[in-house]
């Protein structure tokens, strides 16, 4: 399956979604085609005024004794897999407008049905959402 990025849409968009059998604003979508690089589990959102924003974040090292699975009695972890879990903590630093221009595909399985849509942006503004055929 590989890595992907996540995208959400804020309610209040002037652009309509095709009928997908669910509220598209309550869905966290997946995409592999927003960024000009490989997907890296980044978070994106389309604001109610139709702009694509990317989450800005930094990651901090978490000391071993603060990680899940740390055993104080043995002064460490039962195995190496446990040691790596929770070693970094994400720090949200805000959102930045990507000024996206182009089309990207996004998708999700909803009630057992695979739904794939395209979002078209012109000069940073969402102008259309259509089924991806």
pLDDT tens digits along 16-48:
999 999 999 999 999 999 876 666 789 999 999
Which distant-in-sequence residues (6+ apart) come within 8 Å of 85 by Cβ? 67, 68, 69
- Is the whole model's pTM more than 0.85, yes or no? no
- Report d(CA 51, CA 100) in Å as an integer: 8
DSSP 3-state assignment of 67?
coil
Q: Answer whether 41's CB lies under 8 Å from 59's CB.
A: no
Nearest 5 degrees, angle CA 56-CA 87-CA 4? 50
**Helix runs in the chain, H state only:** 80-84
Regions of the chain with pLDDT less than 50: none
């Amino acid at each position: 399956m590989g890595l992907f990025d996540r995208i959400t849409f804020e309610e209040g968009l002037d652009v309509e979604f095709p009928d997908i059998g669910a509220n598209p604003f309550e869905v966290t979508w997946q995409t592999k085609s927003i960024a000009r690089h490989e997907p890296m589990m980044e978070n994106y959102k389309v604001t109610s005024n139709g702009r694509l924003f990317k989450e800005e974040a930094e990651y901090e090292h978490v000391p071993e004794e603060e990680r899940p699975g740390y055993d104080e009695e043995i002064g460490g972890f039962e195995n190496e897999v446990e040691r790596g879990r929770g070693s970094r903590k994400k720090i949200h630093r805000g959102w930045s407008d990507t000024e996206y221009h182009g089309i990207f595909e996004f998708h999700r399985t909803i009630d057992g049905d695979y739904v794939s849509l395209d979002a078209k942006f012109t000069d940073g503004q969402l102008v259309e959402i259509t089924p991806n055929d």
